[in-house]
Structure 1
Amino acid sequence: MFWIQVEPSVSTEDETTVYTLDSSAAGHYECILSGLRWVCESKVSLQYQFSSWEPHRASLNNMRFEEGGPLLDITMISGKLEEIHLPHFVCIDPDYPQSCLREDIKVLHVKDNRVLLEEVDEVTRFHAKLLHPSFSGRGLVLRRMLHWRVHCDLLIFRSTRALLTLHTYLIRCDPSLAREVEAQEKSYGFLRLPKPKPEKSLWKGSRFALKTSCQSSITPQTIKLRSTRPNYFEVYIKDAAMDFEMELISERGESAWKAEIRTEEYRDDSSTRDSEFVDEFRPQLIQKVNNVFAIADILFTKGVIGEEINANISAAPTRQAKMRH
């Protein structure tokens, strides 16, 4: 089956991001952002926004289900859909009977503030198909008692300071969750380091450790692949100056993911040029710079130098000695 890729137009309404999708003729279409698919026999226009599972978590627990994909609030603007295919992150065994899948995987349907579970017509590798759908908040849910493997993503964010800190998240393949995490990290001043996803699906509820090929401090020692908001590894590398590898290790000691972090990915060109300038003109700077304390204070505030260097600058007896630090 060939799916025509569609890029949504994005707008903001009452601080909520809304995605609009248009298909001009009959066909099979897929949103490149969310993975949402639809089939239509004529021109169609629809909108969706990502919603939070949190208000429905208690109801799902009572029904012994948990989320299995993003929760999408979908609104038809014009036209009619023959099918809609909701994205999910569950790793489906090809030998698992469809009759059992339809029992264990449902679609959450929010109507008039009520949470209902509906059967799906078919579950495929990355989607659940519904025929002639009506719309409201919808998302795939899984029976809690079963032990599922899930498709995952690994998100890495780096500090913009000289002392390298990485925040490394292991999450389910959920674009709404990834965007939420990225927005939070940007508010901290961290930048995304794009890396490939784990090639194999992972058991939900399992614990994982992270290691690096260079000397580093990593906390916590392990994290759990969980349904609620994910935790992250904080990786601190004091003297980062070369390429190094990061590897995710399962509780069985198996490698779940590995990637190389290259120097040019975490060192800004501007910082490198500044460093080269200082190295070239170091003798002249030591003799001529007067306002050492003010410069040190700015560098310390921005994280370019640490507490130890800042303290050494303050303790140095002469202006030239301060500059040498």
Structure 2
Amino acid sequence: MQTMLQLTGKSLEHLQSKAGNYECSVSGLRWICNGTVSFKYQFCSWEEHMKRMKSLQYMPAGPLMDITVVTGRFDEVHLPHWICIENNHRKTNNKILDKFAVLHINDCGDDVEKVSQVTSSHVKLSEPVFSPRAVLLRMGIPVRINCNVLIYKTNTAFLTLHVYLIPRDPGLQQEMDRRQISDGYKVIKKPQPNTSLKMNDRFILTAVLKGAEITPEDLKLRCGSSPNFYEVYSQNPDTDFELVLNHKKDHQTVWKRTIRKDEYQSIDHIHAATPSAGAAGVNTTAPDGSAEKHFVDEHRTALIDRVTNVAAILDDLLDGEVISKGSYEEIMALSTRRDQMRKLFSGPLDGSGRAGKDLFYKILEKKEKFLMKDLQKKE
């Protein structure tokens, strides 16, 4: 089996191969061809298809991929899946094998096709005919899946990590990396869990670091929906520390990795104690210059509840390059102003550092004068 390398970071990937057996290094797609074949593919989001999948009594079991053959033909194609098909004794679980299917989305709707072969990592297509395709699994049976843990460091004065637990979906990981990097976050790469985890179970993340705060307390492992994340916060870390993921029910450790000091420290973090003056001479750090919570962080709840002119504020933040065009559109698509403000705080604003929050403060003084005067009186 030859490994086919490709450039990443684009929504559409182009691949070409001569006769042979291949596996894409990013998507995990495998194919066999007796001559030269050229094709392109892109990952698709599961989210918009979830209601239909549930109505069909199926759940996603692999990445959703739209494949188009440009020239040549495939003799065999094998789609990747993230289901663990072995039981605790490392024997094949035949009950699970019978529950696999392949989704084929075409102009007439959704076709669910039988599979001709299932391996520990792939499902063979009965016919290599394309449109959006993915592996499915019949709902209603408990399954274990192979997972990834994604870690992103936000661009804030104090250490803040966003930690995601997701199925081993390269399309979702690619999209997550794109979003987080566009918001100014740094990817911290760590080895993935060595063991499969049970779908819909809950897991607790802890940090072996004095004073670290982690929210929420636990998260459910799920697929097909926008993933939630753990937020890890520490004010003044100055050492390596461990992140540990435990099963909530039996407290068994399923993943443990060391986060090293040089992986999370940055110039902004090292100089976090430098005072920064906000608009109208209001110091946005603590009076003693100790770089405690920024004014906008201190009044986060009040701002989420009481800010009304969200669109105009987002316009100014976009002009000031505090948020990207993609983040702007994502926030504006939310239906309520409170949801828009929550998204702003948890995403691009959190990643903009003190300079971004200082600009946000100045914009608030212009767009929300009475609210800001009221909050300043409470300082």
Counterpart selection for 2:13 from 16, 19, 23:
19
Q: Are the aligned partners of 2:5 and 2:24 in contact in 1 as well (CA < 8 Å)? A: yes
Q: Are the aligned partners of 2:85 and 2:93 in contact in 1 as well (CA < 8 Å)? A: no
Q: Which runs of 4+ in 1 moved over 4 A?
A: 9-12, 269-272, 291-300, 308-311
Counterpart selection for 2:72 from 79, 82, 86:
79
Q: Secondary structure at the match of 2:173?
A: helix
> Structure 1 244/309 Cα, relative in aligned 2: closer, same or farther at 3 Å?
farther
> Structure 1 309/204 Cα, relative in aligned 2: closer, same or farther at 3 Å?
closer
Deviations 1:113-143 (A, max 9, x none): 4101011111111111124411111000111
Q: Are the aligned partners of 2:284 and 2:295 in contact in 1 as well (CA < 8 Å)? A: no
Q: Does 1:170 align with 2:165?
A: yes
Q: Secondary structure at the match of 1:307?
A: coil
Match in the other structure for 1:6: 4
Q: Are the aligned partners of 1:82 and 1:131 in contact in 2 as well (CA < 8 Å)? A: no
Which structure 1 residue ranges, 5 or more long, are not aligned? 279-290, 312-325
How far apart, in 2, do the equivalents of 1:309 and 1:132 lie?
Answer: 60
Deviations 1:206-258 (A, max 9, x none): 00001111121110000000112211000100111111111001021100100
* Aligned-partner residue type, residue 6 of structure 1: M
How far apart, in 2, do the equivalents of 1:104 and 1:294 lie?
Answer: 60
Matches within 5 A, 1:180-195: 180-195=175-190
* Aligned-partner residue type, residue 242 of structure 2: E
Q: Are the aligned partners of 1:9 and 1:21 in contact in 2 as well (CA < 8 Å)? A: no
Q: Are the aligned partners of 1:89 and 1:174 in contact in 2 as well (CA < 8 Å)? A: yes
* Aligned-partner residue type, residue 80 of structure 1: R
Match in the other structure for 2:308: none
Match in the other structure for 2:254: 256
Deviations 1:133-164 (A, max 9, x none): 11111000111111110000000111223300
Counterpart selection for 1:224 from 199, 213, 220:
220
How far apart, in 2, do the equivalents of 1:179 and 1:298 lie?
Answer: 39
Q: Secondary structure at the match of 2:194?
A: coil
* Aligned-partner residue type, residue 234 of structure 1: E
> Structure 1 91/238 Cα, relative in aligned 2: closer, same or farther at 3 Å?
same
Q: Does 1:56 align with 2:49?
A: yes
Q: How far has the Cα of 1:184 moved from its partner?
A: 2.4
* Aligned-partner residue type, residue 88 of structure 1: H
Q: How far has the Cα of 1:181 moved from its partner?
A: 1.8
* Aligned-partner residue type, residue 5 of structure 1: T
Match in the other structure for 1:240: 237
How much identity, in percent, do the aligned residues show?
35
Q: Are the aligned partners of 1:56 and 1:115 in contact in 2 as well (CA < 8 Å)? A: no
Deviations 1:270-307 (A, max 9, x none): 865x69xx9xxxxxxxxxxxx9847998985xxx9333
Query: Paired residues, what number?
Result: 286
Match in the other structure for 1:307: 293
Which structure shows the higher strand fraction?
1
Counterpart selection for 1:31 from 13, 24, 28:
24
Q: Secondary structure at the match of 1:38?
A: strand
How far apart, in 1, do the equivalents of 2:294 and 2:7 lie?
Answer: 50
> Structure 1 294/104 Cα, relative in aligned 2: closer, same or farther at 3 Å?
closer
> Structure 1 52/38 Cα, relative in aligned 2: closer, same or farther at 3 Å?
same
> Structure 1 307/32 Cα, relative in aligned 2: closer, same or farther at 3 Å?
same
Counterpart selection for 1:265 from 263, 266, 275:
263
Which structure 2 residue ranges, 5 or more long, are not aligned? 299-379
Q: Secondary structure at the match of 1:96?
A: coil
How far apart, in 1, do the equivalents of 2:73 and 2:252 lie?
Answer: 48
Q: Are the aligned partners of 1:155 and 1:168 in contact in 2 as well (CA < 8 Å)? A: yes
Q: Are the aligned partners of 2:276 and 2:284 in contact in 1 as well (CA < 8 Å)? A: no
Q: Secondary structure at the match of 2:125?
A: strand
Match in the other structure for 2:39: 46
Counterpart selection for 1:89 from 45, 60, 82:
82
Q: Are the aligned partners of 1:218 and 1:236 in contact in 2 as well (CA < 8 Å)? A: yes
Q: Secondary structure at the match of 1:166?
A: strand
> Structure 1 80/292 Cα, relative in aligned 2: closer, same or farther at 3 Å?
closer
Counterpart selection for 1:119 from 114, 117, 138:
114
TM-score normalised over the length of structure 1: 0.80
